Amino acid sequence: MAPNQVSCNEFLDWINTNDLSCMSFTRSCYTWCNGKRGLHRIHRRLDRALCNGVCLDEWDFCTYQVLVKNCSDNFSILPSIASNSLRKVSNFCFFSVWLQDTSCMKLIHDSWANKVVGCPMFILQHKLKRLKIEL
């Protein structure tokens, strides 16, 4: 049975709106098999691993691997991200001297006021990272 074209278009619009891309794959691309043998065997690529532009910018390799099939007719997929270079993680340091400069206070206030959606730890990390760049 062919998929509903409206549903497919809605899903593609959602992918584009959220700046998502299909990750490349290693090994086989097929994630489903009908379980039959010989001429009646059918393989299809039903599943994809998606990542956003930030992931593609931050990491050199964004791929997934189709694993060996077990009891299901679907194959599991294992996403993998890696980098060629070692990135030094630097901590955020706040200097109290920044509080003496009113323009700096405004920059901090404006940066912190920008809305970030996610769990509280993600919001804190994202705001600190953004503030670090602006300072």
18/128 Cα distance (integer angstroms)? 23
Q: Is residue 89 part of a domain?
A: no
Residue-range definition of the domain harbouring residue 123: 96-134
Q: Is residue 90 part of a domain?
A: no
What integer pLDDT is reported at residue 47 of this predicted model? 78
Q: Is residue 91 part of a domain?
A: no
What integer pLDDT is reported at residue 1 of this predicted model? 54
Q: Is residue 60 part of a domain?
A: yes
Question: Do both 43 and 16 map to the same domain?
Answer: yes
Task: Tell me if residue 3 falls in helix, strand or coil.
Answer: coil
What integer pLDDT is reported at residue 3 of this predicted model? 66
32/45 Cα distance (integer angstroms)? 6
Question: Do both 67 and 112 map to the same domain?
Answer: no
Q: How many domains does the chain have?
A: 2
What integer pLDDT is reported at residue 86 of this predicted model? 60
Residue 25: C-alpha distances to residues 16, 19, 74, 79 (Å): 20, 19, 16, 9
Question: Do both 69 and 108 map to the same domain?
Answer: no
Across the chain, which has 135 residues, the per-10-residue mean pLDDT values are 78 85 79 85 82 80 78 76 67 75 84 84 83 80
